[in-house]
Structure 1
Amino acid sequence: MNSSFSELPLPPAQLENLEQIGYREMTPIQAASLPLTLAGQDLIAQAKTGSGKTASFALPLLCKLNPRDFGAQALVLCPTRELATQVATEIRRLARYQANIKVVTLCGGQSIGPQIGSLEHGGHIIVGTPGRIKDHLRKQTLDLSRVNTLVLDEADRMLEMGFAEDIGDIISTTPTSRQTLLFSATYPDDIRRLSHRYQSDDVQMIKVAPQAEDQQIEQLFYICQPAARREALLQIIAQHQPDRAVVFCNTKASVREVTQALSDAHDDALALHGDLDQRERDQVLVQFKHNSVRLLVATDVAARGLDIDDLPAVINYDLPRETEQYVHRIGRTGRAGKSGLALSLFTDKERYRLDAIGQYLDREVEFEAVETLRPTAASLPPPTFVTLAIAGGRKNKVRPGDILGALTREGGIEGNAVGKIDVLEHVAYVAIERSQSKLALKQLSNGKIKGRKFKVRKLSLNRNRDQRG
């Protein structure tokens, strides 16, 4: 299968842009899907987050755009605000070869007023969540009658979240002549029904099997007694001392219990599950990305779309019910040529899941009893950074450089003590080395950013309550 973008019927300016932004070779999902999507075919593609699927639908929809028509010509539906933001950002990068292409993001958790104002000036590509798109259709602030490309990204997750009716209502407002591209990590019966209902009869299906790269990911399995599972988790964490890890549980109740157990054992941990509101979710994710917390405890649904660079370890507190989900989970570590660690707990009643994983990976899976680990009471060291939240964001014209300047030039903080800086719509987050965090909090609280004073607070690990500065 061809892996060069130059073999595709793309404009020369786009090929040059792809080279400039680092798209050297097609990923397996791109190589399998782009010849079909660029030819106008409807597509159902089974592929996970991180596989390069955004380009698989962004490149063909960009080729069809009429830049002089500011009506919505493409619609991308995503399950969460984080994924919609990631997708919109990537589409903007891929659209650089054309002038004045407007991508509008419409998601819940944000004020609808500014979105309405943005839509009044038109938008070529709409990226959003089903609930908020439905809100705009109800208010008649969004017209989808000229959409020629519809994308359902992470369709299985949208159905899991109960968006089936909203999706149907939204699709009913688009032309039947559209191209419909459906991407899903799994392919259950409800996805088949969705495809049958909204895609053409000659829809093409492709599946790119997720690969667990053995040479990059060390996979270790530990059998434990059901009543001792939490203690076993503490033991394997103490034994392996991961710098950061995502701990996967099968239920929201387990997420809460495990997070509490870790916190009781003095291992900083935050929970990520479906009951969090958008602000809480943003704060959990930013602290984990900033290395301000070492352990993130999550369900599969909550973690879908979560893309963490350089994640050292994944821990399966529960083995997933679906074998493919195991490969999706551990594929979050060991990326970009780096080594990763996957630790899994299971009980004797779950041996069948372990056997299924071995069959899927086509190798014999070895395991050991957690009791064979040498006893240790060591907890993880404190996280390297502390995250500060600043009550000003893009709407206040705050940029990362402004925050860095306020800390280093005016605040006297060493530049290497400042970690990641994330500027959102109305809030900004900055990671500060723990030893410098009190000074940084004081300087930002008493000083100014771009000549203005903003409230600053330290994000707390205690249920994410803010600690005022």
Structure 2
Amino acid sequence: MEAKPFSTLSLKPELLQALDSLDFKLMTPIQAASLPPILEGRDVIGQARTGSGKTAAYGLGLLSRIDPLQTKTQALVLCPTRELADQISKEIRRLARCMPNVKLSVLSGGIAKRPQLASLEYDPHIVVGMAGRVLEHIELGTLKLDDLRVLVLDEADRMLDSDFEDVSRAIVDKTPRSRQTLFFSATFPDAVRGVSRKLQKQPEEISIDNEVSASTVEQTFFEVDSNRRMDALAHLLTQHRPESALVFCHTKKDAQEVESQLAARGYSVLGLHGNIEQRERDEVLVRFTNGSCRVLVATDVAARGLDIKELAAVISYELPEDADLHVHRVGRTGRAGRSGLALHLFTPRERSRLTEIEQRLGIKAQIGKIPMTALLPDRPVQPFAVTLCVDGGRSDKLRPGDLLGALTGDVGVIKEAVGKISTFDTRTYFAIDKKLAKHVLQRLRECKIKGKKFRVREID
């Protein structure tokens, strides 16, 4: 399919201006297929792999429908995690950068309500949030949806599964029947399609770019004995030495066990699952994305909404029971034309899952072998950087450029020694070369940033 420019769409001039300023010229396949019916006001089910541009597709759609002069909540986006809510809000704000006076509020769980209540004192035009917290505000009367024009369920398969379906449907019941309803996700089980028929009006179903690209992802399956699965995982990590690897497990218990055993073997590893607090989750993701941790172990649920742009490898500790979930896992690597690596462990009892994946993808799986003699302890590759935390952030008007200026100025390190800088409301994290960490920690504690001293510490 030939890529089409955004200028072929009937978008508001302000949106075209924003797209031009962001250097977004050509639509991705999911955008080209879904935006015309969305702009016509039709309900849509959009299915496309992670990183395909789904957020911009519905973001442009809902921004086309709202009236900034009407101070009412006109668009609502529901999603399953705080990280995804933050990513969605940033993307929509970027797209709305040339539209004056558009207010967007983020309503996520796991954080204090007081700032959210202040934000809702005057109705936002757009709300992005997690279903549980959104429903709380509806029941409190602090969020009113009487004038809602567009409802979006991102990761709709997750929002309509057994964990979220009741609260999602309770929110839908509070919205006008005249609303436009958009579902977007990487996978859509038949059960979700059944729910869609009850919540949407003759939706146009679009499935684009949902297959694993053989040209960018090298995918290999390894049959192992169940009692040697951990040895095999360690061998693959040491043999391939990926810069970053996301290891998928079925359950929280499995993820915790794999993280613990890899750490005991000397691997730079962190875990992401439902048993960690939000702040710790933030720090785990910061350390993984800035390169100071090389391996992240996660459940499929916990990994929802993660936006890791340059993921070198995904590894399935065991094959998922659903072939679509396998596609979703593999779609996290090899994005934007980059090469990726997908490695999958399975036992003889999981052979039927492999067959289902082969049928789903229309492929003959490449089966690799791990010699039993290779399953011996090996020396893991360690990251070059550590992460330091400055106890100051957006609420202190501390910007990444301010910190970088202090590091290259008063601290005296070269710019190339500083890794990714991540800013939150009250904290700023950055990666620094291990050899320089002690010096940087001492000097940064002594100097001032923007005329103020901040507490600085290492994250471990």
**Bin of the TM-score, shorter chain as denominator length:** over 0.9
> For the Cα contact (< 8 Å) 1:238–1:376, is it kept in 2?
no
Letter in 2 for 1:433: D
Letter in 1 for 2:391: A
Deviations 1:50-89 (A, max 9, x none): 1211122111211122111121111111111111111111
Question: How much does 1:109 deviate?
Answer: 2.4
Q: Secondary structure at the match of 1:345?
A: strand
Partner of 1:424: 424
The separation in 1 between residues aligned to 2:363 and 2:177, in whole angstroms, is 47
Taking structure 1 as reference, are residues 169 and 362 closer, same or farther at Cα in structure 2, changes over 3 Å only? closer
> For the Cα contact (< 8 Å) 1:106–1:132, is it kept in 2?
yes
Letter in 1 for 2:413: I
Partner of 2:179: 178
> For the Cα contact (< 8 Å) 2:50–2:332, is it kept in 1?
no
> For the Cα contact (< 8 Å) 2:74–2:126, is it kept in 1?
yes
> For the Cα contact (< 8 Å) 2:231–2:376, is it kept in 1?
no
The separation in 2 between residues aligned to 1:320 and 1:450, in whole angstroms, is 50
Question: How much does 1:138 deviate?
Answer: 2.6
The separation in 2 between residues aligned to 1:161 and 1:271, in whole angstroms, is 24
Matches within 5 A, 1:428-447: 428-447=428-447
Partner of 1:352: 352
Letter in 1 for 2:335: R
The separation in 2 between residues aligned to 1:87 and 1:157, in whole angstroms, is 16
Aligned residues: 459
Question: How much does 1:449 deviate?
Answer: 2.2
The separation in 2 between residues aligned to 1:345 and 1:104, in whole angstroms, is 42
Partner of 1:57: 58
Runs of 4 or more, structure 1, over 4 Å off, are 372-376
Taking structure 1 as reference, are residues 251 and 115 closer, same or farther at Cα in structure 2, changes over 3 Å only? same
Q: Secondary structure at the match of 1:370?
A: coil
Partner of 2:411: 411
> For the Cα contact (< 8 Å) 1:76–1:151, is it kept in 2?
yes
Letter in 1 for 2:307: D
The separation in 2 between residues aligned to 1:151 and 1:365, in whole angstroms, is 36
5+ residue gaps, structure 2, are none
Question: How much does 1:361 deviate?
Answer: 2.6
Partner of 1:464: none
Letter in 1 for 2:321: R
Partner of 1:463: none
Partner of 1:315: 315
5+ residue gaps, structure 1, are 461-469
Matches within 5 A, 1:171-250: 171-200=172-201, 202-250=202-250
Letter in 2 for 1:244: S
TM-score of the pair, normalised by structure 2: 0.95
Matches within 5 A, 1:354-373: 354-371=354-371
The separation in 2 between residues aligned to 1:66 and 1:165, in whole angstroms, is 30
Question: How much does 1:212 deviate?
Answer: 1.2
Q: Secondary structure at the match of 1:115?
A: helix
Taking structure 1 as reference, are residues 336 and 46 closer, same or farther at Cα in structure 2, changes over 3 Å only? closer
Taking structure 1 as reference, are residues 373 and 245 closer, same or farther at Cα in structure 2, changes over 3 Å only? farther
The separation in 1 between residues aligned to 2:215 and 2:62, in whole angstroms, is 37
> For the Cα contact (< 8 Å) 1:49–1:304, is it kept in 2?
no
Question: How much does 1:184 deviate?
Answer: 2.7
Partner of 2:335: 335
The separation in 2 between residues aligned to 1:363 and 1:198, in whole angstroms, is 35
Matched, 1:272 2:264: no
Question: How much does 1:90 deviate?
Answer: 0.7
> For the Cα contact (< 8 Å) 2:186–2:210, is it kept in 1?
no
The separation in 1 between residues aligned to 2:182 and 2:53, in whole angstroms, is 15
Question: How much does 1:372 deviate?
Answer: 6.4
The separation in 1 between residues aligned to 2:391 and 2:99, in whole angstroms, is 35
Partner of 2:18: 17
Question: How much does 1:140 deviate?
Answer: 1.8
The separation in 1 between residues aligned to 2:66 and 2:403, in whole angstroms, is 37
> For the Cα contact (< 8 Å) 2:103–2:124, is it kept in 1?
yes
Aligned-residue sequence identity (percent) comes to 48
Matched, 1:81 2:82: yes
Partner of 1:459: 459
